Amino acid sequence: MPKGERPPLTEAAKRALAEAEERRAKARELQQPREIGGRGGLDPARFGDWEIDGRAIDF
Is the dihedral angle over the CA atoms 18, 19, 24, 27 positive or is it negative? positive
pLDDT computed for residue 45 by the predictor: 60
**pTM, entire model:** 0.45
- Please give the mean pLDDT across all residues of the chain: 77
pLDDT computed for residue 34 by the predictor: 74
Q: What is the mean pLDDT of residues 35-54?
A: 62
Q: Are strands 49-52 and 55-58 parallel, antiparallel or unpaired?
A: antiparallel
AA identity, residue 35: E
